[in-house]
Structure 1
């Protein structure tokens, strides 16, 4: 039995993992949630979040190339800072990304309940069932998961393309209650949008499984963020074109509800359900790799570090991940879970940037000011969003 995962994911696979991790809750829920806060300043909130994500993504790529193992900033904290930093980062990641997965699962469950006119009381059961289903997919091995990822990303892009085209085909409308955004609400919205960009973290946490990590990880991170930034801005402009969103109601909200044509609405709902399912899939995979790394170091019971006989899966770590996500889905809602994810992930990436500043000059391929800007952006958004 091997104690290391097999490197069987190339650049295209890493890119698909990144897109599959992002294009879901971010595009179908977070942009709308941020629109209800930022109002006409939505695009600026997206831009601020994108710049923050780019700095953090480059810091993550720098670290992943210098120390290509599974575990993300948990491992980087140990390697470049100190054990306490690594442990704190590990728990922040687990909480943040488990909350993101719970958000996606709950959003899918709400969409299904509305689409099939199922009682709202079944939403939590559907969400936990979805988490269970994708846990089984992850246990089947990362190579098979990549094929499913490609399908999920394609359907997600089709749904978003339909939304943008259909929204701009409608007459321009003014919001029923024009929002009066402030600078604090702008940064609050940017903080919520930032977590919608952080799928690149799945690429870094899978450093042990990606071939030629020094070359493929940075390329996959930059390409992922470039594509997603363009998509979010297009979706944001489309939302503003049809009048924006005055309030967020998780029991009935989806960007599809902004479309007048019922056929287009149905297609966008389907695209959202598929896309957010892809988010759940990738988050179960990414979080389980951090749980795996913490088990290897003894910060969690060492039993969670056991791998399958072929080295393609980590069953114990994956089931622990499922349990944490299911608990958050059981006791939280879409908006509260997403807010928890936003604040914890910003602190997590603050530690990432500090670690990136400690990479040696010989291994460095990004200037230090990028990590400094990322650090300031992360903690600045945490403080400003808390004051909003």
Structure 2
């Protein structure tokens, strides 16, 4: 096997859109609205709109850059090419740490929907191992399984929305769905930062750039299509759970969609939501392992992670060592962390990742541009604002982990120079 072999271009437009949807319409749609409601109450709808605007600006930057640099690594590569090695490292490190935490959250979500509490952590570890094995066998198997999962999730969401609305919802006087209530600008922005966690899946399309056919045309189209579908789904679900539960009950819920269905009269629909929640988390975890593994591949090729992780399997043509490393770290996190704490930390790392993407896209030449520069300015400013309004615990832990990564790279560069 070789350390710098290329990956096979096997994915078409439909496959790329499905992988993006599998990442965005994942466990976030079943869990992210609760912490957002705790931050802003019914103001989470405005927070969702803000998150969608920032995410769209980021998506256009990613699409524009991926068309010019159709290789694995996403913004890690773009930052290096457009801004310099350190910028690329900061983006890659943020993506790896943030999305590795997301992997653990997705695995725990699968277990929470399917087994009793005593079995949840062992089950989550088993899920990680199985999906890592699927990714190990090749990207086309990943795309096929993701297509099945996305179909199941969309059907489950349709049933959940219908069941919740059929139940009549809450009294509008007690739960003003379209009112900000007591939420101020800070609370709304914090909810936007937490909900951004749910939109970040389009990055998975860009990180698979080395495996997409006709990437200059396919990647931008896939990102925009997948993002538009995800925004529509999240908007419908957000209004539904607020209508069914009200802001206070939603904020306290550990399984918002399941509780929204339980509030209605369609008791038979609850198992459908359970299956949908587990399938959504499976789809997100499957795509996350693929995306993180390929970013690690790109970083290892440049020496920013151990070079042994740059190996590509001669038969399956996947970064197998990187994916095994991801699976091992995620299993450790599953055994030591909880579900809710991962969302804020993941948003911290990913928002900084997209800050670098927007800055990189801003520097592209006119002939490489597909979207106006003001979108990159909006995206960069939005990332900074949302990072600043995240829960302070997430910001603190994120800064500490970033400091560790910077320290590692300084030590490595020092050794190379001596």
Q: For 1:271 and 1:172, how far apart are their aligned partners in 2?
A: 21
Cα pair distance change 1:311/1:138, threshold 3 Å: closer
Gaps of 5+ in 1: none
Are the counterparts in 2 of residues 184 and 387 from structure 1 also a CA contact under 8 Å?
no
Q: CA RMSD in A?
A: 1.8
Q: For 1:180 and 1:282, how far apart are their aligned partners in 2?
A: 38
Q: For 1:108 and 1:182, how far apart are their aligned partners in 2?
A: 34
Shift of 1:328: 2.4
Partner of 1:193: 195
Are the counterparts in 2 of residues 43 and 236 from structure 1 also a CA contact under 8 Å?
yes
Residues 21-46 of structure 1: per-residue CA shift (max 9 Å, x gap): 11111211112332332221222111
Moved more, 241-250 or 59-68: 241-250
Are the counterparts in 2 of residues 188 and 384 from structure 1 also a CA contact under 8 Å?
yes
Partner of 1:35: 37
Partner of 1:44: 46
TM-score, length-scaled by structure 1: 0.94
Gaps of 5+ in 2: 394-418
Residues 303-335 of structure 1: per-residue CA shift (max 9 Å, x gap): 111111135211101011112222222222111
Shift of 1:254: 4.1
Partner of 1:332: 337
1:238 lines up with 2:240 in the alignment: yes
1:224 lines up with 2:226 in the alignment: yes
Shift of 1:87: 1.1
Q: For 1:340 and 1:387, how far apart are their aligned partners in 2?
A: 10
Count of matched residue pairs: 382
Q: For 1:42 and 1:163, how far apart are their aligned partners in 2?
A: 20
Q: For 2:251 and 2:33, how far apart are their aligned partners in 1?
A: 11
| Counterpart among 274, 279, 287 of residue 282 in structure 1 | 287
Cα pair distance change 1:104/1:221, threshold 3 Å: same
Are the counterparts in 2 of residues 41 and 181 from structure 1 also a CA contact under 8 Å?
yes
Q: For 1:158 and 1:325, how far apart are their aligned partners in 2?
A: 29
| Counterpart among 263, 281, 294 of residue 268 in structure 2 | 263
Shift of 1:297: 0.9
Are the counterparts in 2 of residues 17 and 149 from structure 1 also a CA contact under 8 Å?
yes
| Counterpart among 107, 124, 128 of residue 127 in structure 1 | 124
Q: For 1:310 and 1:45, how far apart are their aligned partners in 2?
A: 46
Moved more, 252-261 or 336-345: 252-261
1:149 lines up with 2:154 in the alignment: no
Partner of 2:406: none
Q: For 2:121 and 2:252, how far apart are their aligned partners in 1?
A: 16
Shift of 1:181: 2.2
TM-score, length-scaled by structure 2: 0.87
Q: For 1:29 and 1:350, how far apart are their aligned partners in 2?
A: 25
Shift of 1:194: 0.7
Q: For 1:248 and 1:316, how far apart are their aligned partners in 2?
A: 40
Q: For 1:147 and 1:345, how far apart are their aligned partners in 2?
A: 26
Shift of 1:259: 1.6
1:287-302 aligned at under 5 Å gives the runs: 287-302=292-307
Are the counterparts in 2 of residues 190 and 381 from structure 1 also a CA contact under 8 Å?
yes
| Counterpart among 366, 370, 386 of residue 381 in structure 1 | 386
Partner of 2:56: 54
Are the counterparts in 2 of residues 36 and 244 from structure 1 also a CA contact under 8 Å?
no
1:244 aligns to what SS in structure 2? helix
Residues 223-276 of structure 1: per-residue CA shift (max 9 Å, x gap): 1111011100100110111133426568x5342122233311111111110111
Shift of 1:177: 8.7
| Counterpart among 323, 327, 343 of residue 322 in structure 1 | 327
| Counterpart among 90, 104, 107 of residue 105 in structure 1 | 107
Partner of 2:396: none
1:342 lines up with 2:344 in the alignment: no
Shift of 1:386: 4.5
Q: For 1:387 and 1:300, how far apart are their aligned partners in 2?
A: 29
Partner of 2:371: 366
Are the counterparts in 1 of residues 150 and 283 from structure 2 also a CA contact under 8 Å?
yes
Q: For 2:282 and 2:311, how far apart are their aligned partners in 1?
A: 27
Are the counterparts in 2 of residues 66 and 359 from structure 1 also a CA contact under 8 Å?
no
1:19 lines up with 2:21 in the alignment: yes
Partner of 2:74: 72
